[in-house]
Amino acid sequence: MQFTAERKNPCEVALHITIEEEEVKKAFDKAFQDYATAVQVPGFRKGKAPRPILERYVDTDKVRKRATSKLVQPAILEAMEKENLNPYTYPHYEGDLAVNGQPFEFEATIELPPSITLGPHDHFDLERTVYTVSEEEIDEQVRSQMSRYTRLVPVTDRGAEAGDLAVAEISFAPNDGSEPFESREFIVVGQTFPWLDEQLIGQKEGEKKEFETLLPEDFSVESLRGKSVQCAVQLHSLNQKQLPELNDEFAAANLGCNSVQEFRELIRRQLAESYEKLSDSILRYRVIDQIAESSTINIPPELKQRAFNNSFRNFKQRLEQEGSSVAKYLEETKMTLDEMQESLEKSAVDRVNRYLIEQELIEELKIEVTEAEIDAEIQNELNLNKRDPHSRDEIISLLKRDKLYQELLSRASITDVPEDREKSEKKQLELDPLETEALADETSDDPAPTP
């Protein structure tokens, strides 16, 4: 066997391998021996048929595939051992199948683990955004918390309005004569499809409306997608949401506060505490951003793809939980699919880079946690009755991260600056909690063949 190794980038090596004719012949002989014990040739016991006769009963392509597999992996392992390569994941083989009696040439790509060279991290100049609580934000929280006490009241004196809740019988008869579809749905008027909401507005309980429409390509019923249909909608019941009056008596009886003013002050304190945590979280991002700007990080293509796949899956699930879809998101944002994927890929790579920087710093600074600290955090989670408590390994990782940021921020000159109300991060920023378990899984090496 002969080979050359070409370093494509810090995380990829291409092996160009040539296997001599004699070794190829031996691999084919072994492949035929394997089939000799598995293929029944008429007139012969298994494994006893002469080679020329056996070849008539064995699929040639299957033999070539088996012989190729016997050649490729040992050759890759030998080349990796000689080049002292530590693979991140299984090598990627590219090439045709071997041909008996001919030298065999192929190329394998070896992906190497991520590599990182940290930039300076002895001192940082950071701005810490200080957020203030507005009366509008308090009003919004009051409405949100009061919504828990909403009750439904039947509507009898008017037609449906946006926000009303209705039970409707909806039928679709496709104009192409295909099978009709009927269903009874619980709907929120104004939050269905635009073409349906347009018909529902003003419709009274018991009324039936019939109209023709073209259903969208992402309609929930697959057999009706993109079809022109005759639609009939009948309201069986119509209700509106009704909130109780918020006064001191209601606050005392239901909200644990003696007055409405006390309730608003409680919300103000809660918001202030959450904004304080937000400021600290953003500060953590900014210190890692400074290090990342002067660091050199290389990650293998497999890890990039895995991180992107996770980001896309989580993004899609979040849209579905909100009653939306990728198609609707693209329509609303006027983005192309390529633009959305590019944004998600950048976000995924940034997330992995942050994680790698954290882990490198934890190792370099020798960040450790004690058993007492671990036990205290476990007890804290027990006291909080957390629905999904962290595992011991997750707790250790989170404690180390907290200690790391304490150390990094102790090296920083921090200036408090008020938020820019015209461009507030409170609404625009979605803090990525750097999900330790998921990222550790993304960045861990796959089981790969080792020399």
35 falls within a domain: yes
34 falls within a domain: yes
Are residues 271 and 218 located together in one domain of the fold? no
CA 423 to chain centre: 27
pLDDT one-digit tens code per residue, 146-157 = 988 988 899 988
Burial of 76 (C-beta count, 10 Å sphere; 0-12/13-18/19+): buried
292 falls within a domain: yes
Whether the per-residue pLDDT at 316 is higher than 50: the answer is: yes
Whether the per-residue pLDDT at 438 is higher than 70: the answer is: no
Are residues 307 and 416 located together in one domain of the fold? yes
Mean pLDDT over residues 245-273, rounded?
94
Mean pLDDT over residues 295-323, rounded?
90
120 falls within a domain: no
Q: Say how far apart CA 56 and CA 34 lie, in whole Å.
A: 15
Q: What confidence score (pLDDT) does residue 441 get?
A: 53
Burial of 288 (C-beta count, 10 Å sphere; 0-12/13-18/19+): buried
pLDDT one-digit tens code per residue, 40-86 = 777 776 766 777 777 777 778 888 898 999 999 999 999 999 999 98
Q: What confidence score (pLDDT) does residue 2 get?
A: 94
* SS3 assignment, position 365: coil
**Residue 450's pLDDT band (boundaries 50, 70, 90)?**
very low
Q: What confidence score (pLDDT) does residue 67 get?
A: 92
Q: What confidence score (pLDDT) does residue 116 get?
A: 94
Are residues 275 and 232 located together in one domain of the fold? no
Please report the DSSP string for 118-162 in residue order.
----S-EEEEEEE----HHHHHHHHHHHHGGG-EEEE--SS---T
132 falls within a domain: no
Q: What confidence score (pLDDT) does residue 377 get?
A: 92
140 falls within a domain: no
Single-letter code of the amino acid located at 87: P
Largest CA distance in the chain: 98
Whether the per-residue pLDDT at 436 is higher than 60: the answer is: no
* pLDDT greater at residue 93 or residue 134: 134
Phi, psi values for residue 97, rounded to 5°: -80, 150
C-alpha radius of gyration, the chain, whole number: 32
Whether the per-residue pLDDT at 94 is higher than 60: the answer is: yes
Are residues 275 and 219 located together in one domain of the fold? no
Mean pLDDT over residues 167-175, rounded?
93
Q: What confidence score (pLDDT) does residue 424 get?
A: 59
Between 295-309, 331-345, 423-437, the lowest mean confidence (pLDDT) is in: 423-437
Are residues 307 and 198 located together in one domain of the fold? no
Continuous segment of H or E residues that includes residue 197:
helix 194-200
pLDDT one-digit tens code per residue, 106-145 = 999 999 999 999 999 999 999 999 999 999 999 999 998 9
CATH label of the domain that carries residue 164: 3.10.50.30
* pLDDT greater at residue 126 or residue 216: 126
> 63, 81, 112: which is the final residue of a domain?
112
423 falls within a domain: yes
Mean pLDDT over residues 353-378, rounded?
95
CATH label of the domain that carries residue 108: 3.30.70.1050
Are residues 359 and 399 located together in one domain of the fold? yes
Instruction: Look up residue 332 and give its two tokens.
Output: 């609303």
Are residues 232 and 255 located together in one domain of the fold? no
Q: What confidence score (pLDDT) does residue 212 get?
A: 92
Q: What confidence score (pLDDT) does residue 423 get?
A: 60
Whether the per-residue pLDDT at 434 is higher than 50: the answer is: no
Mean pLDDT over residues 4-14, rounded?
92
Whether the per-residue pLDDT at 401 is higher than 90: the answer is: yes
132: which residues sit within 8 A by CB, 6+ positions away?
275, 418, 419
Are residues 200 and 282 located together in one domain of the fold? no
Whether the per-residue pLDDT at 334 is higher than 80: the answer is: yes
**Residue 421's pLDDT band (boundaries 50, 70, 90)?**
low
Are residues 217 and 276 located together in one domain of the fold? no
Are residues 273 and 205 located together in one domain of the fold? no
Q: Say how far apart CA 132 and CA 416 lie, in whole Å.
A: 12
Are residues 330 and 229 located together in one domain of the fold? no
How many structural domains is the chain composed of?
Answer: 3
Phi, psi values for residue 279, rounded to 5°: -60, -45
Please report the DSSP string for 404-433 in residue order.
HHHHHHHTEEEEEEE--GGG-HHHH-----
Instruction: Look up residue 230 and give its two tokens.
Output: 């005759």
> 81, 112, 143: which is the final residue of a domain?
112
Q: Residue 326: which domain range? A: 249-443
Are residues 100 and 171 located together in one domain of the fold? no
